[in-house]
Structure 1
Amino acid sequence: MPEQNSQTTKANKIRIITQVLTTALKLWLRAQVSQILELEVEIKASDRQILSGRIPSVSIFATHAVYQGLLITQIQLIAENIRVNIGSVLKGKPLRLLETVPVVGDLIVDEKDLNASLSSDLLSTALSDLLVKVLPTHCPKSQPINWQKIILDNNQIILRGMRVTNSEITPLEICLSSQLLSGHELQLAHIKIKPDQGEILEDNHEYNLDLGSDVDIQELTLIPGKLVCRGRINVNP
């Protein structure tokens, strides 16, 4: 009986530690975003692994998370080989990653959520910087664009905005297609510009964008009204 009670006490302690760790992980995830509607976290680890602060796998599911003003409709992730400051967490301190964590998963962004993110500095600046790079003649940095709408079609993105010049504001529509060249390289092509509601200008050049060594995308799909991304990214401490 004493041995059974000892095992029961140990199991209860592990269960409490798991609950504390899960709560700390949720708090850390919520701190990375400004808003989140739904968040589910499941820790997969043995008793010994939890006590050592090493977690082989954590699955995360979230909906309508807002990261730096960018609204993500749905995200499902699996993080592996995680090391955390378990001793500090058990003392009530915030969770902290001790090593870079590889995270694989799926991300979905609906067109309406993407358009709701247009006011964010992250998205609007990224779009403007992109066009200055690939279309310096038609979209110079000296003429900022106030983005109005993004339309997602089959393997195509349509951007609508208002170009601001010294004395007037004129409408602008840009169409482009994208495809993955590798896990971290994206190619933009078939760029069409409709300035001032006039004739369409076509750019037959192809532009490659390097997304960085911490990114490894396996799938990037554009379908009417939705963007779907599947891949891996490193989360650094």
Structure 2
Amino acid sequence: MLKKKKFKLVTNVLAAAIKLWLRTQVSHIGQLKLDIQAGDRQLLSGCIPSVSIVAQDAIYQGLHLSFVDLLAKNISINVGSVLKGQQLQLLEKVPVIGELSQLQEDLSASLSSTLLSTALTDILFKFLPDYSTNSKSTSWDRVEIQENQLVISATMNQENNSQPLDICIGLNLLSPHELLVAPILVTSNTKTLLASSDGEYLNLGSDVEIQDLQLLPGKIIFRGMIYVNP
């Protein structure tokens, strides 16, 4: 009986460490439901067959995520170090499958993130190179999610004035690793600055595999798999 209680105490410590590690990966999380599918002996060996994660209102690297439903499989952790009070670490790359969705207000809040603002600025200046030399900065204000397209309001801050921009872009899934941003329409005070059907290709890298992308009124949904590296 004593051995069984000690076993349970150790597994509870490991489960708490996994929860703590997940929370340290985000700067904020509203709700988190975690289900660890592993026996006591599997946990003690550091091998976890699967972990399901359901979260709401999470912020990851400045990206506001409305809803996340994930399943991670075949997880190897540094169990010995965790039991000595050290931080949990992954020992191998972990495949994570699931669904991620962003409501319009959360996507707008994500515009200030380095990840998203840099990508948008790079695309804008590629098609409007003359503006890149005169622009001091670009403020990404808000976004409206429409059927199969995004409408983004921005302000280009130049030397002597600020210029409002309305940017309409389509977002298409070409392959699990590649997105096509097209067509692109940029206007300022009803004047058309750019109208391009060529668009821009975005390579998501080998650690991302998107199977489904939906742009619905007020909501964007991703389904697929990512690999989380140690």
Please indicate the TM-score interval, normalised by the length of the shorter structure. over 0.9
Match of 2:92 among 75, 89, 99: 99
Q: Which moved more, 1:120-129 or 1:170-179?
A: 120-129
Q: Which moved more, 1:18-27 or 1:209-218?
A: 18-27
Match of 2:128 among 129, 136, 158: 136
Equivalent pair of 1:39/1:62 in contact (CA under 8 Å):
yes
Equivalent pair of 2:134/2:159 in contact (CA under 8 Å):
no
Match of 2:65 among 63, 68, 72: 72
- Where do 5+ consecutive residues of structure 1 fail to align? none
Misfit runs of 4+, over 4 Å:
none
- Where 1:34 maps in the other structure, the secondary structure is coil
In 2, distance between residues paired with 1:200 and 1:132? 12
**Structure 2: which amino acid aligns with 1:118?**
L
1:107-141: CA deviation from partner (whole Å, max 9, x where unpaired): 111111111223333322222123223x1336526
Match of 2:139 among 125, 129, 146: 146
| 2:183 corresponding residue in structure 1 | 190
Distance 1:52 1:164, change over 3 A: same
Equivalent pair of 1:30/1:36 in contact (CA under 8 Å):
yes
Aligned-residue CA RMSD in angstroms?
1.8
| 2:37 corresponding residue in structure 1 | 44
| 2:220 corresponding residue in structure 1 | 227
- Where 1:106 maps in the other structure, the secondary structure is strand
Q: Which moved more, 1:105-114 or 1:136-145?
A: 136-145
**Structure 1: which amino acid aligns with 2:121?**
S
TM-aligned CA deviation for residue 82 of structure 1: 0.5
| 2:106 corresponding residue in structure 1 | 113
1:185-205: CA deviation from partner (whole Å, max 9, x where unpaired): 001212111123324641121
- Where 1:222 maps in the other structure, the secondary structure is strand
Equivalent pair of 1:101/1:234 in contact (CA under 8 Å):
yes
Q: Which has the higher strand share?
A: 2
Equivalent pair of 1:109/1:226 in contact (CA under 8 Å):
yes
Greater Cα radius of gyration, structure 1 or 2: 1
In 1, distance between residues paired with 2:10 and 2:51? 15
TM-aligned CA deviation for residue 27 of structure 1: 0.9
TM-aligned CA deviation for residue 174 of structure 1: 1.0
- Where 2:132 maps in the other structure, the secondary structure is coil
- Where 1:140 maps in the other structure, the secondary structure is helix
TM-score under structure 2 normalisation? 0.92
Equivalent pair of 2:182/2:198 in contact (CA under 8 Å):
yes
